Chain A
Amino acid sequence: MDIIWNSLRELITPTTAAYALAAIGLNVHFGFTGLLNFGQAGFVAIGAYGFAISVMTFGFSTPLAIAVTLVLAAGYALLLGVPTLRLRADYLAIVTIAAAEIIRFALNSSAFAKWTGGANGLYNEYSGWLKGSNPYPSGVVTVGPWTFGSNDLWIATVDWLVVLLTAGAIYLLVRSPWGRVLKGIREDEHAMLSLGKNVNLYKLQALVIGGVIGAAAGILYVQPTSVQPFDFATRMTFNMYTMLILGGAATVFGPILGSMIFWVVMRFTDELVNLGVDGGLFDNVTQGSQLRFVLVGVALVLLVVFRPQGILGNRTELSFDAK
């Protein structure tokens, strides 16, 4: 029973919220506009490192650090988008994954360790602003069947607030004329061109907006923990694809639902692996957890082939499924 409650706790943890937010950003790219961004982890990394370095190295105030980080992410999106958006879908996919890896290699490198901490990452000396404003009683707080550290719960609260506000903004955006143009581009780029829309400009705007949301997710992602370069590997992006397609691409709540289910299942299998370690089935937790990512890969294949609309999606609204 403990296993189930522990797993369900993931429904509201900060990590789930941060992933949900990054997946919302990816949804703007992939779900609404049809852009195949295989490097969302790069945007998240820019968010995490941009914020941490702004605060720790340059001593910026929190609002300034957030602003600088989001502007950086927007600049990165422009850098990627301008050369590649006029090319076919594969090119954007390849360039985004390559650029995300360039970022990760650079952050991991000893060359910039003065700022990035190299392979060791950065200790958390940047989330004082959040912890300082914590209204919950210090110590352990009980929420329903779960207990949280006071700071964790406050971070989770702020994170989910950001997720809900962003989801609301996306809801309004995709119903606006602007959002309808995006969907039009996804369905038939040439039709939108012939209507006199500047397709590349709209795509670029979508790339910037989704990327900035991804960077915001990066800021949230590192608040409860330290910054670790390995977290921003390509696996992060494809976890997001799995949650996005699971929940339902091109829906407002799909990424949030997807993230919740994903992390509950991951936690559940993690608990099973722990049992397996206790039972002598695996050497250690790391080894057992590799098997979970085999499952994620298989799940992604099965989802995209057999249920591309996910749980909430509408199959007729998904152009990526069309021949």
Chain B
Amino acid sequence: MTPSKAIRWLLAVLALACVLALPSPAAAAPADEWGFRGLLRDGEKQPVSGAAVQVKDGDTVVGSDTTDDKGRWEIIPVPGPGTYTLTIDTTAASGHFAGDEYEVDKELVESPTTLPVLNVVVSTTESSQQVASFTDRLAQRAVSGFNLGLLIAIAAIGLSLVFGTSRFTNFAHGESVTFGGLTGFVLAHVLGLPLLLAAAVATVLGGFFGYAQDVAFWRPLRRRGVSLITLMIASIGISMAIRSLMQFSFGSASRGMTEESWGTVTLGPVVMPATSYAGMGISIVVLAGVGLWLKHGRIGKATRAIAGNTALAATSGVAVDKITRIVWVLAGALAALSGVLLGVFNQVSFDMGFNLLLLMFAGVILGGLGTSFGTLAGSIVVGLCTEILVLWIPADMKYVGGLAVLVIVLLVRPQGIFGRRERIG
């Protein structure tokens, strides 16, 4: 390994909360012992094994552990509530480390709402000043950004199609993404299915989820003839209800999608997990398929006809209700696929879809509301901006970059790159 690669690995060393138990109201009875538990990963979200983790109370070492091959560590028990210093020494760790040491203070708080074992998030900001050349980091970020952009695009095309056929902005679309992520997690992590199979099953289930939403909420509301604003507020309510239900059953922690490892691929200065490239391949195939279907398929053409002029499409013999239903199924399936891929790319959490929703909006508006090709282009630009801006802004403000794009576009060119002026007024 060359030094420059080693440094990229150290862009961020993260110890992330990882609760491995299956979420169920009965499963996780709080233990009485206090302690820390965490997951140590590098900037590419690969586990770091063999790093020494210590918990100190002042200068006294109260416990130590070495991360296992999944990067997990656990120091239980510690004497009780209080402030402890966590040190992470990567000298003996696997991979490309220069022996950096990290130190962070963590407080164990006694309260009825927190568990005595603290799941730890440590992030270091000082390591990025090390040697990786700017262009290398830029290349790494650009590939990540392209990946993220494709994920946004898959989900956002569903949002855009629903907008075209059902005429409202569905704020609950993010929950379909989360549905895919959580279903994938249950299939791959809990049931231990191979990742690709889990992704396929989750996508199909996502289609059912989309169908169920249409049958349960949107078709009855369309029949009642409610207004655009009512639909948007209703979608917010549905989004809140589903998201809280997911938080109830899944918990608030972020978790890895799978323990399956495909290794990493090194292309020039860019080191990425192989799963990311597989995800990009799947994304591109799916996006091309949807594009061709919209352009040449019978139902695809009908979808565009409805988006263009619903009344005219209906009088020309397009079965508007049936097509709308198909679009909901497709949107649900695409969102679920995006959720699985996002879960592999990042992590699975109950609000992953809601966070992605705002980036989807940015992509859709940047491309021009209601244009599928624009949505694709806009999403990729937003993905790139989100990841590349991390070179200058702190990682915990990552999404701000993507959202800032949204605000700037509206200032400069509100119809987006490919949009038409009359759609926006």
Contacts and interface: CB of A to CB of B under 8 A. Distances in A.
Contacts of A89: 228-229, 232
B425 A87 contact: yes
B79 interface: no
A320 interface: yes
Contacts of A64: none
A311 interface: no
B223 to A, nearest CB: 12
Nearest to B409: A83
Q: Which 8 A-B pairs have the closest CB atoms?
A: A297-B241, A300-B237, A297-B240, A293-B244, A301-B237, A290-B248, A320-B229, A111-B394
A38 B3 CA distance: 48
B397 A321 contact: no
B350 to A, nearest CB: 9
A33 B139 CA distance: 48
Interface in B75-128: 112-113, 115, 123, 125
A208 to B, nearest CB: 18
B225 interface: yes
A95 to B, nearest CB: 6
Contacts, number: 164
A278 to B, nearest CB: 12
A110 interface: yes
A284 B400 contact: no
Interface of B: 25, 28-30, 112-113, 115, 123, 125, 168-169, 171, 217, 221, 224-230, 232-234, 236-245, 247-248, 251-252, 354, 358, 361-362, 365, 369, 393-394, 396-397, 399-400, 403-404, 406-407, 410-411, 414, 424-425
Chain B facing A: main interface SS: helix
Given A99-B407, A111-B396, A111-B397, A320 B113 contact: no
Contacts of A106: 397, 400
Nearest to A118: B396
Nearest to B113: A286
Interface of A: 34, 36, 38, 83-84, 86-91, 93-95, 97-99, 101-102, 105-106, 108-111, 234-235, 238, 241-242, 245, 281-287, 290-301, 304-305, 308, 320-323
Contacts of A322: 227
A282 to B, nearest CB: 6
A38 B232 CA distance: 10
A90 B248 contact: no
A242 B244 CA distance: 15
A168 B175 CA distance: 40
A70 to B, nearest CB: 22
Contacts of A87: 410, 414, 424-425
Given A84-B410, A323-B227, 20 more contacts: A83-B411, A87-B424, A95-B406, A98-B361, A98-B406, A101-B403, A109-B394, A110-B396, A111-B397, A235-B240, A238-B236, A238-B240, A283-B29, A290-B248, A294-B240, A297-B236, A297-B241, A304-B237, A305-B226, A322-B227
Q: Which of A84, A108, A235, A304 has the most CB of B within 10 A?
A: A304
B240 A296 contact: yes
Contact of B424 (A88, A95, A235, A242): A88
Q: Which of B113, B400, B425 has the most CB of A within 10 A?
A: B400
Given A83-B410, A98-B361, A111-B397, A283 B424 contact: no
A291 B248 contact: yes
Contacts of B226: 305, 321, 323
Contacts of B396: 105, 108-111
A241 B394 contact: no
A110 B124 CA distance: 11
Contact of A299 (B232, B237, B361, B397): B237
A281 B25 contact: yes
A91 B169 CA distance: 10
Contact of B30 (A91, A284, A295): A284
B160 to A, nearest CB: 12
Given A88-B425, A111-B393, A304-B230, A94 B241 contact: no
Contacts of B407: 83, 95, 98-99, 102
B395 to A, nearest CB: 9
17 contacts: A87-B424, A88-B424, A91-B410, A94-B361, A95-B406, A99-B407, A102-B407, A238-B236, A286-B113, A287-B248, A300-B233, A300-B236, A301-B241, A304-B230, A304-B233, A304-B234, A320-B233
Contact of B245 (A90, A242, A284, A294): A294
B234 A102 contact: no
Contact of B112 (A38, A235, A284, A296): A284
Contacts of A109: 394, 396-397
A294 B30 CA distance: 24
A246 B212 CA distance: 27
A95 B403 CA distance: 9
Given A284-B113, A304-B234, A294 B406 contact: no
Contacts of A291: 244-245, 248
B234 A305 contact: yes
Contacts of B251: 287
